[in-house]
Amino acid sequence: MLPSTPQDDDRDPWGPDLSREIARLPRERASARVPGAVDTARDRAEEPGEGDEDEIEEIEIVPVRRQLSLAIAGFAALLAVGLILGAQTSGPDTRIPYAIVSFGVQLLFVLAWTMAMRPPAMIAVAAVCLLAGAFGDYLAVTTEPARLLPLAYVAVPASVVALIAQTFRAADRRRLREALGTTLVLVLGTMAFSSLVLLTRKPTGTQALLVCLAAAGVALVVGRLVDAFFAKPRIAAQVPRGASGVILGAMLGTLAAGALGSVLVRPFDPAKGAVLGVVVAGLAVVADLGVDFAEAGRETAGDAPTFWLARHMQGPLGAFALASAAAYALTIFYLT
């Protein structure tokens, strides 16, 4: 005897109509609680966000001004010519004229870098740096024997005095920690030009000065000239410099130093000239480029813009200050 097949009414004791009503209740309650919830969520997913355009910030590409690049190249060339010719015309008994040339460059360096970096107690710091530079030039001319240590004896107290001058006002004291590096850069950069006067008193110092400053000058001038006509590829959107100028400047600066090394007397030769050139030219273009990045960073942070003349003089002056220190170090530790 076969079992009978259960009917729908036997499987569902509640009945088909009542079951359908119970199944419909959760959907109706959900729709009643949040009317149009499904459509609203779908619409929101399909519609673009209103704040998307605000969140995406366009990076402004700073244009390269040709006349400005040419002017900076001319200023770098004048600095190189002045420092090189001053050294070549100074003799054993005529160091004072070159010390005057050095102090003139120190004056430009202090004014440009102080206005650009704006340390606390700016006027006092600038005065301390200028006094230290003048006294350093005097010691570079008169110290017997010619040594770098007396310049260090001037740089250390000058840095301490400049830091003390920044502690008198409460607003300056709050910025003292961040101003420590700025103060040291100002004092050491000023004293670096005094080392050029000291270098002329070394046996091979004047020739080393010629090679190093020529390499730095060629690197800076070529770099800016290339930027004036072909500033590509751009190093950064906010920095109006091109990688072609930086690389070509460093290469031609090294080539110029090697060429000078081939015509100078011993201990110079093309290899030693090229070594001096690659170091000094590389440092010069990096210092010049670093100034441009620092200025772009200040503008991005919303700081007040630097006085335009100081801003454009800052790069070459900083590059020659670093080149001067490198020239002295290379003469002592590589050529001697």
The per-residue pLDDT for range 70-122, each reduced to its tens digit, is 999 999 999 999 999 999 887 766 789 999 999 999 999 999 999 988 888 89
**What pLDDT was estimated at residue 51?**
45
Query: Is 39 exposed, middle or buried, given 0-12, 13-18 or 19+ CB atoms closer than 10 A?
Result: exposed
Confidence of residue 46 (pLDDT cuts 50, 70, 90): very low
**What pLDDT was estimated at residue 181?**
86
**What pLDDT was estimated at residue 23?**
52
178: Cα within 13 Å, side-chain hemisphere = 8
Residue 2 confidence (pLDDT) above 60: no
Confidence of residue 20 (pLDDT cuts 50, 70, 90): low
Confidence of residue 130 (pLDDT cuts 50, 70, 90): very high
Confidence of residue 167 (pLDDT cuts 50, 70, 90): confident
Closest-CA residue to 205 (of 249, 264, 285): 264
Q: C-alpha angle 72/137/272, rounded to 5°? A: 65
Residue 32 confidence (pLDDT) above 80: no
Phi-psi region of 12 (alpha: psi -120 to 50; beta: other; left: phi over 0): beta
Q: Specify whether the CB–CB gap between 274 and 254 falls below 8 A.
A: yes
Residue 40 confidence (pLDDT) above 50: no
Instruction: Quote the tokens at residue 219.
Output: 């690197």
Domain residue extents for the chain: 91-199, 203-336
- Percent pLDDT > 70 in the chain is 80
Average model confidence (pLDDT) across the chain: 83
**What pLDDT was estimated at residue 324?**
95
Distance CA 265, CA 272 (A): 12
Confidence of residue 304 (pLDDT cuts 50, 70, 90): low
Tell which wins on pLDDT, 29 or 330.
330
Residue 39 confidence (pLDDT) above 90: no
Average pLDDT over residues 133-154: 92
